Every structure is written in structure tokens, then in C-alpha cells.
Amino acid sequence: MSDELLFTSATRAAALIRDGALSPVALTEAVLAAARRVQERLNPFVVLLEEEALTSARAAEAAVQDGARLGPLHGVPVSIKDQVDVRGVRTTYGSAIFADAPEAQVDDVTVARLRAAGAIIFAKTTLPEFGHKALTDGPGFGTTRNPWNTARTSGGSSGGAAVAVATGLGPIALGMDGAGSIRIPAACCGIVGLKPTLGSIPWQQGADAFGNYTYAGPMARTIADLSTMRSVLAGPDASDPWSLGAADLPLSPRLAGRDLHGLRIGVMERTGNARVQREVAANLRASVFVFEAMGAATEAAGGDVDWMEMPGRVMYQANFAISQRCHLAEWRDRMDPTLLAFMERGETFSLTEFREGQYARTRLFRAIQRLFDRFDVLITPTLTRTALPADFDAAHDEVEIEGELCGITRQGWSSYVYPFNLTGHPALTVPSGFDETGMPTGVQLIGRWGAELDLLRLGAVLEAARPWADRRPPPV
């Protein structure tokens, strides 16, 4: 089987399929065969939808032969995080609680839009129980491992999706991001991931639509594929109130030319974290230099922002305590111990602390808005260091960077990502290089509300200057 076929981009595969030069059946068969091989070692999938995918692929091939109108992802395989409903497939949320749940009766709006664009749904991907942590493992399915080094985590909670894309098992995947859950695994596995503006892509399954900080978003190997998938997913839906008023901003005039003269970039080397791995910092500086060489003006930013780690933690863990307490009587001994620890901590917080967290969220939003009075875009590392060990205990272990303990994951590892779930600003992670052990690093670009087009343009600049899609993990 040709790796070139597996690592063909979504946009190229769709073009070849439209021209009759590539069979969607052959492409789907190749992806499924590789997925079966990779599953045993890396564990990215909850289920492979082989029969359904091949039926869809045969229909896609017939549509090409019949000269039917084809969507932008026609015949392209895509995986769906098992937190999102797919018609005819149970949604397990990474939990034994739902291992025997009824099959979903209808597609989530995001899945329906992917189908309408011609995509082939071929698998559902792993996540930690209810997507609660930044590593993908659990008592019900084991550990999803990093394809660059199986002793490391894939990240989480969209860890299975990131592994699938990184290893050529579909060029695109649908992830979910509640506190970095697209961007963390994307950075760990060396791919691209977008947390959109709040409401840009509807989130139909949220229990608290108005207080939402969870986002559906695309994951891919290239900016072009990410952009295409995002264009398919975006747009209002009656189920999500934030989506009803969402609109894309036009591309900034400062980004419309060949260079970046006039663009103002705020560089945030630290947020709430004490340390950053030296290679991560060096790759951030190299990425910033790309923009400077094209005329952008850069300046340190964010030093006076209160990143509300503790108030954010109160909201996050208290929400889990409330939403999952109904399962404890029957399922406690089969739930992830980390989730139980989060819930136990969440139960100790008062209503006053929870409301203070909500007020802090507003203050953080306004602080970021003030930064955008001075800057057109912000840039940070995506994570403070490369992927953590696969057996890292997210409830109790401290993150270690170059021999120094730096606190729990929100303080020591993912401090750059969770704030923008709370503020709603779009955030894009792209690969920035590798450390001396060969593990990927990433940089995060943050834009104004609705400014995804600016981020995608700058992501494409970095991709052209410091290409990453030709780098592949060791074969499985």
C-alpha cells in the first residue's frame, strides 16, 4: 500500500476523485486497511465503520460516473470524535456508561454538513471519559499513544483524531475543544487544529448553550485542508444561539498583499506558566522571525493579563461534578479515577466561587479585547513542552520541564490554550518544528472574534516558510 495515497491531502484527493483519477472506494479501502494495522499499536479508534464507509464510497464513485454535482470533500475519508452523534452509531463519550447505549438516530449538524459536502465517515475516534483531560486514555479502552513515540501521550481530549490524521488515516478529522482539546493533541502529534470563534461552527450537543466554552472544529495536516473543512462546518444552526449571530470578518487589509507590512503581532512567550521548554521557545522565535522578515511588527504582550487559572478550574471541575454526578451510584468503580478526582474537587467549590469564575471569564475576555486594540494577532507556543508521558496522572502528577516541576497540566502544560475557550476568540495551532528527541512542537495564533481568515492566512505563511506536512511519524 502506498503511503503517498494515505498522505494525499483532502483537497488533492477530492480533485483527483472529481477528475476520475482516484477511486473513492480505493481510497477508503486503503484507509480502512491501514487503520486496522495502526489500531493495535496506537489505539486511535473506538470503532471502524467499514461497511457504512464502503457503501458511501461506492455511492460517491457512482456520483462521479453519473456526472452529479459534487461537494468540496467528495469521497474524502473523515473520522469523528466519539463525543459527536453519527446516525446509526452509538456515542460512547469514552465511557463504559454508554458502551451499550442506543445508536444515534440522527447526525449532529457538523456530521450532516460533512456528509453533504461528500465526505466519507469511516470511524469514531477515542477520547478520555467525557473529554475531561488533556491525555487520551481510560479504563474502558486503554491508552491512545503518540505516533512519534509510543511512550508519550497523543494529547487530549481529541487524541484519537490527532493520531488518525498524523498517521494518514484520513486527511481530516472532526475534534472537540473544551479547554484545548483540539489544539493540545494537534500540537502533540504534529498536525493543524482550529478552535473557532464561539458560534462560528455550531455545537449542537452542549447542555448549557449560553454558558458554552466547548467547540467543534477541524483537524488536518495542511492549512488548505483545514480551511476547506472549516468552510463546510461553519454557519448558523437553530440549536446553538451563539451561531445565530456569528459571521466571518473579511481578511484584514494588512494580510491581503504579498508581505505583512503594517501587521502588528503580540508575542506571548508566557501566560500563566512558569517555564517553557527551550526548543518550544526557540521554535516560537523562529516562527515569529518568519513574520518579521515579511514586514510584520512584533512586540511582547500579555504580561499584565490575569489568566484566571484557578477560577477557570473551579468552573471546569464544578461543571463535571454537576453533569456526571448522576452516574456515581452505579458506575463509580468503572469511571476514570482522574475524572472522579476532578468531580470530587468540583463538589467542594461554592456557588460564590463558581459565580466569581464567571465574572473572571468576562474580565479575561475584556483584557484580550484590549490587546486587540494594539495588535492584529497574538502568537504563543501551543504547549509549554512536547507530549507528556503516556502514563502521566493528570489528577496528581506535576508537569516537568527540563528537570523542574511546574504544576498541574493547566498551569504547567496547557496554560496557553484554555483561556481562549473562555474568551471565545479563534485560536489556530500549527506545527513549529521538533525538539532534540524528534517530538513535534507547535505555535498558536489567536485572532479577533470572527477573524479565522486572518489566522488561516498566517498559518499558510508559516506552512510555506517552515513546511511540516512532508514530515511523517515512523511507520507502524
Catalytic residue list: 81, 157, 181
According to DSSP, the residues that pair with 297 across neighbouring strands are 264
Backbone angles phi, psi at 381, to 5 degrees: -60, 155
Give CA separation, 184 vs 177, 302, 353, in Å: 9, 21, 27
According to DSSP, the residues that pair with 146 across neighbouring strands are 149
The b/e string for 124-163 (b: 16+ C-beta within 10 A; e otherwise) is: bbbbbbbbbbbbbbbebbebbbbbbbbebbbbbbbbbbbb
- Count Cβ atoms below 10 Å from residue 366 Cβ, excluding itself: 10
Contact at 8 Å (CB) between 133 and 85? no
Provide the residue type at 276 as one letter. Answer: V
Nearest to 224 by CA among 331, 73, 363: 73
DSSP 3-state assignment of 314? Answer: helix
Reduce the secondary structure of 436-462 to three states and give it as a string.
CCCCEEEEEEEECCCCHHHHHHHHHHH
Task: Determine the Cα–Cα distance for residues 244 and 237; give it in Å rounded to an integer.
Answer: 7
Contacts of residue 21, defined as CB under 8 A and 6 or more positions apart, other chains included, come to none
Residue with cell 463546510: 232
Nearest to 414 by CA among 188, 88, 111: 188
Task: Determine the Cα–Cα distance for residues 273 and 413; give it in Å rounded to an integer.
Answer: 8
Task: Determine the Cα–Cα distance for residues 267 and 368; give it in Å rounded to an integer.
Answer: 13
Provide the residue type at 423 as one letter. Answer: T
C-alpha dihedral (299, 303, 307, 309), degrees to nearest 10: 120
Contact at 8 Å (CB) between 131 and 342? no
According to DSSP, the residues that pair with 431 across neighbouring strands are 442
Give CA separation, 11 vs 117, 185, 221, 227, 430, in Å: 12, 23, 11, 10, 18
